[in-house]
Structure 1
Amino acid sequence: MAPLVTVATCALNQWSLDFAGNLRRIKQSIVKAKEAGATLRVGPELEIPGYGCLDHFLENEVYENSWDSVHSILTDPSLHDIIIDVGLPLLHRNCRYNARAIILNGQILCLRPKLYLANDGNFREMRFFTPWNRPRHVEQYYLPPHIQKLQGRRQVPIGDVVLSTIDTTLAAETCEELFTPNSPHINMGLNGVEIFTNSSGSHHSLRKLDERIALISEATRKNGGVYLYSNQLGCDGDRLYYDGCAMIFVNGDIVGQSSQFSLNEVEVVVATIDLEVVRAYRFAPSRGLQAVAAPPYERIELDFSLSHDDIDLPHSCTPRRPPRYHLPEEEIALGPACWLWDYLRRSKSAGYFIPLSGGIDSCATATIVYSMCRLVIAAIKEGNEQVIEDTKRIAAYSEKLPETAEELCNQVLYTCYMGMTNQSSKETRERAQALSDRIGSYHTDVNIADVYNSTRNILTQATGFEPKFKVHGGSTTSNLALQNIQARSRMVIAYYFAQELCEVRKRPGGGSLLVLGSSNVDECLRGYLTKYDCSSADINPIGSISKVDLKRFISWASTNFDMPILKDFIDATPTAELEPITSDHTQSDEVDMQMTYAELSRFGTLRKVNHLGPYGMFLRLLEEWGGEGKLSPREIADKVKKFFHFYQINRHKQTVATPAYHAESYSPDDHRFDLRPFLYPPAFQSWSFEKIDKRVEALEKRGQGK
């Protein structure tokens, strides 16, 4: 019978270019794995420099510093007697590679470069690295001089290799390789590999964990084997949040899973496995026929056993367990909250400032900050030393640590209702105040009418022209210009308050606040916002979340956070409150946009995720929205053409959108995720629109029996 083996994978909260901190967390994870009896430890992708270094990967210094970290690992005796799989960038024959170093007892056994690079959406790995697009190819890598001296040799193998220990066989694949159709683990498994490692830098987006679990489960259910999935955790300095969730699978079943959202810096998952279970699983003759025909791998022989007979170690297999998923509403409550905490503590800022309008978007932003405070208080009660240290610095108004989320919120969250005499309603002001009272934020209420009137009068003084709102007989141009004055004034005031409120409150040590934006993904996609208004901020936790999901989140939070006040925000009509309120006119977002938020969400998905232009979108929506008792072809055509018209004329706004937490697959983030022109020809849609019109006419004639 095969002996039992104990293996470990981990989720680490690494920070790009934080070599000292990253090394400390790597070593801590290895020690924890050893203390749990593990003889194999797997870490996240590029964990030594941090995954999100971006163009810093073009700097040779990053590679030199990474080798210094490897030197520290090699020379630390406390890290011996365990196989270490650690991620770093490499220079080899003047090419840059995203690679793994496999280490045992102070010796580098081999280097395994990534075969297939992530190069879409948020990722541009081929901008920095070269793919090792040669499966099973192995050659020699010349070590840096100081590592040569330590190792007593000049070269180590580099390539797509398999490692054979005394009792089993293991091999590595990296992140994207799991998602490719012909994944390396297929041939590895046919070659007898029993333990697969995957070191990942996989970011959070809503409902994405389902895909990861499905892929790993399918891989090991078909192939048999043990799969160790490691992932980065936290905000490493960019828009992405890496959601951890390190996992261990055996023959399609989960036997270990770390938290998906956590304020912990190091999480280690350990499982004890009977390799006989893997060998018995691979019984099918059809597998054997494929195995004998599979291309061979070069093997590195190790005089080391993953199993041992230490009676103090566990001698029963870790049982399988059901996967743990979060509802999308919980993901919104937890993911952006963890991202905000990392951003706050690492930026050394004093807190956050939110212009609180009384609407659902700024309400959701404030509620996410409150969720962050809840997580921090829970971590303090659990004794998380890093969170306690960070909170002592950030919560500077009191000598003792805050004991409730409301106490912490009062120190780190500043909200302000910026009203206008004729445009702002009593209801929105009361909702803003009630929300602040519930979560404990430091709240101010100001009337910006003087700023608005002064700015408006400058044009009148210079030209003699007096602009008016449409309800007062003004033009569409003047109506929009007067709204934009208010919106942009709020942005200026927000930054002014963010710089001064800590001084107003006499915060020990001073400090300033980060301004949070609160425009959602649908508004940005439609361009229903003022360029450089209070949607312009330092960061935006909801900028990639749809209005539909935000409403679900607020509904969830009203119960789970015991915040009944949130129901008032759900029931309220979304409005910018930039036009005067009269007896027969109250501004409404969906009326202004000429489309609903639910429709915008669908347009966004079809445009980005399904890669459909105007005509393709029209055909798809004919199937979804058309039919008896539903929308007519002409109505669907009008909606599609309106969407693309407004997308075209407002596309420039997305180029300056506030950096936002990435959560939605149809995000129009222009900085990296959604790369498209921002100056379109006036008739860029005309060809497609003509095809839509011809199709509508043909359908109408058919319906009339002509």
Structure 2
Amino acid sequence: NPSASHFAFGKHEVRERLVLEGSRSMAVTYLYANLLGNEAGRVIYDGGCYIAQNGTLLEQSPRLTFDDSVLTTAVVDVEASRTEQVRTNSFQADSTDPGAKRVSVDFEFPRARIERSEPAAPAWEASKHHKEEELMRSLTLALFDYLRKSHSRGFVLSISGGADSAAAACLVSLMVGRALQELGAKHFAEKVGLDPEASARDWVGKLLCCAYQPTDNSGDVTRNAATAVAEAIGATFYVLDVQHIVDAYESLISGAVGRPLTWEQDDITRQNIQARARGPSVWMLANMRGALLLSTSNRSEAAVGYATMDGDTCGGLSPIAGIDKAFLRRWLRWLETEGPVGMQPIPALHGVNLQTPTAELRPRDSDQTDEGDLMPYPVLDVIERLAIGDKLPPADCLEVLTSEFSEHDEETLRAWVRRFFQLWSRNQWKRERYAPSFHVDDKNLDPKTWCRFPILSGGFERELSEL
């Protein structure tokens, strides 16, 4: 079975059952081969070859490796399959003479010593944090292939001190660590077309440039968190204060419209210009370095349009846009304290993980938080799964939520359901403009390859009226 089965969380278990059941039901030896790597930009292939006979797995290959190819071999007892076919009632041998269709060839199966052993999977496959491991290994492989196949010379990132940008920075660092472990420095350098570096930190410094871009609304907490992460992984790091750029734009527009901009009247406008003022500088750094600018939008924010177009969505690649915020924060806590099998954790993430997610675009005394602007991320992610993945109407979503989130009263949950459906409908135009992202499950929000939805729609008005 030469396959092109793309990666999704837990999908390897489905493939393994397919191979085992196929070999058992037909009493044959089943060979399953799969593509490996990021072949076209969005889709990741995790490899994973299987050899099974009569319902028993003989051998399997490691998944999500940086190898060009992986050879998987096993010694097969052909007679065992023939015996099983004769034994089972489902098999009827064809004894008719094929006549002229027969081609005779001198051939004998080689006599080989059959040594039965349990197929050995890499240690990370047995981890109790299997999904966290899969996320790390799939996205680092995708970044590695995207880097070398796009002939880019690294990555640039606007690092805010929050979870999303910290995750993107750590993924680049982990990509470097894995490449050096699996390929070696010389082969890694050949793959990416760059001169070898002395250490992993030197490689990260060459391949990743981070810029923290504060305004007057930014605080020491995010600045310290961004600095700690960048220094811990060895990234090139700049602090670029953009407040004077924000002031210049506000002054320009105030003069044009004949009045000052105020938070009471121009809240969204003043928030958005801060995010947009950060775009040109990181684009310049990307141009100067011949690098890819990484956007840091996540799946939860994409669902409700909680992003500034031409601001934090700036970039040529959005590596975490397929990951919901609740799981991303869980992944960062795991990376801080435990880390992947065979690699070290990143304790510098502590300052990121302590924070309550915030855009830091309103004045500090407003206590702005993401969940205050929207709803709790776990609730948002469940509504997205029900409404978009399972196609349930608002009333059915509310019924599920009242069971899963009993700590919230029904009226609050009803308001959040209504808000999700309204924001989803209004913000399809944003999802159409997001940078390419990696697919990590079978249901994602990418409108170009999976989740089609009209830019203009009725906004679920009839369904919401029944809520």
- Specify the alignment match of 1:414 in structure 2: 209
The superposition leaves residues 462-510 of structure 1 with CA deviations (integer Å, 9 ceiling, x where unpaired) of 11121112xxxx12xx11001110111112221012123x4xxxxxxxx
Supply the distance in 1 between the matched residues of 2:106 and 2:142 (Cα, whole angstroms): 40
| CA deviation profile, 1:407-458 (whole Å, cap 9, x unmatched) | 21011100010011x2111011111111111100010001001111111111
Match of 1:428 in 2: 222
Q: Which residue of 2 aligns with 1:161?
A: none
Corresponding residue for residue 285 of structure 2: 497
Runs of 4+ residues deviating >6 angstroms: 297-300
1:576 aligns to 2:359 (yes or no): yes
Query: TM-score normalized by structure 2?
Result: 0.90
Partner of 1:346: 149
Q: Which amino acid aligns with 1:308?
A: F
**Which residue identity lines up with residue 113 of structure 2 in the other structure?**
H
1:587 and 2:362 correspond: no
Q: CA deviation at 1:576?
A: 0.7
Say how many residue pairs are matched: 454
- Residue in 1 that maps onto 2:428: 651
Distance in 1 of aligned mates of 2:18 and 2:411: 42
**Percent of residue pairs identical:** 25
Counterpart residue type for residue 391 of structure 2: H
Residues of 2 paired with 1:494 and 1:328: CA distance? 32
Q: Partner of 1:257 in structure 2? A: 60
Q: For each residue in 1:92-136, what CA deviation from the matched residue of structure 2 results, as whole angstroms up to 9, or x when unmatched?
A: xxxxxxxxxxxxxxxxxxxxxxxxxxxxxxxxxxxxxxxxxxxxx
Which residue is equivalent to 1:394? 194
Q: 2:76 aligns with which of 269, 273, 279?
A: 273
Helix, strand or coil at the partner of 1:319: coil
The whole-number CA distance in structure 2 between the counterparts of 1:577 and 1:347 is: 33
Query: Whole-Å Cα distance in 1 between the matches of residues 354 and 107 of structure 2?
Result: 59
The corresponding residue for 1:6 is: none
Tell me what 1:468 maps to. Answer: 262
Contact 2:66 2:183 in 1 (8 A): no
* Counterpart amino acid of residue 204 in structure 1: F
Residue in structure 2 matching 1:602, options 373, 382, 385:
382
Aligned partners of 1:317, 1:549: CA distance in 2, in Å? 42
Checking the alignment, whether the CA contact within 8 Å between 1:271 and 1:317 is kept in structure 2 is: no
- Is the Cα–Cα contact under 8 Å of residues 7 and 441 in structure 2 kept in the other structure? no
Q: Deviations over 1:310-354 (max 9, x none)?
A: 7xxx42245342666361111121111111111111222111001
**Aligned-partner residue type, residue 224 of structure 2:** E
SS at match of 1:535: coil
Which of 29, 32, 46 is the aligned partner of 1:229?
32
The equivalent of 1:678 in structure 2 is 455
CA distance in 2, matches of 1:302, 1:228: 24
Aligned partner of 2:190: which letter? Answer: E
One-letter amino acid of the counterpart of residue 132, structure 2: E
Q: Compared with structure 1, are the counterparts of its residues 631 and 517 closer, same or farther at alpha carbon in structure 2 (3 Å cutoff)?
A: same
CA positional deviation for 1:298: 13
1:622 is displaced (CA, Å) by 4.3
Structure 1 or 2: more strand by fraction: 1
Give the Å deviation of 1:226. 1.5
User: Is contact 1:491–1:536 with CA below 8 Å preserved after alignment?
Assistant: yes
The amino acid across from 1:202 in the alignment is S
Superposition map of 1:23-422 within 5 A: 198-282=1-85, 286-288=89-91, 291=92, 301-304=102-105, 308-309=109-110, 314-321=112-119, 325=125, 327-381=130-184, 385=187, 387-391=188-192, 393-395=193-195, 401-420=196-215, 422=216
Distance 2:147 2:385 in 1: 31
- Aligned-partner SS, 2:278: helix
- Summarize the Cα distance change of 1:320–1:225 in structure 2 as closer, same or farther, 3 Å threshold: farther
Change (3 A) 1:463 1:285: closer
Structure of higher CA gyration radius: 1
- For 2:55 and 2:362, how far apart are their aligned partners in 1? 58
Residue 251 of structure 2 is aligned to residue 451 of structure 1: no
Q: Residues 429 and 624 (structure 1 numbering): CA distance in 2 closer, same or farther, change over 3 Å?
A: closer
Distance 1:624 1:380, change over 3 A: closer
SS at match of 1:267: coil
Larger RCO (alpha carbons 8 Å, 6+ apart): 2
Contact 2:62 2:121 in 1 (8 A): no
1:482 aligns with 2:270: yes
- 1:535 shift after superposition: 2.0
CA contact (8 A) 1:254 1:323 kept: no
Identify, as 1 or 2, the structure richer in helix: 2
Structure 2 partner of 1:639: 416
Measured in 1, the distance between the counterparts of 2:208 and 2:356 equals 26
**5+ long unaligned stretches in structure 2:** none
Looking at structure 1, the residues matched to 190 and 67 of structure 2 have their Cα atoms a distance apart, in angstroms, of 13
Counterpart amino acid of residue 355 in structure 2: A
CA contact (8 A) 2:19 2:50 kept: no
Return the letter of the residue paired with 1:620: V
Q: CA RMSD in A?
A: 2.5
In 1, are the aligned partners of 2:305 and 2:423 still within 8 Å (CA)?
yes
Q: 2:202, 2:309 → 1: CA distance?
A: 35
Alignment of 1:555 with 2:360, yes or no, is no
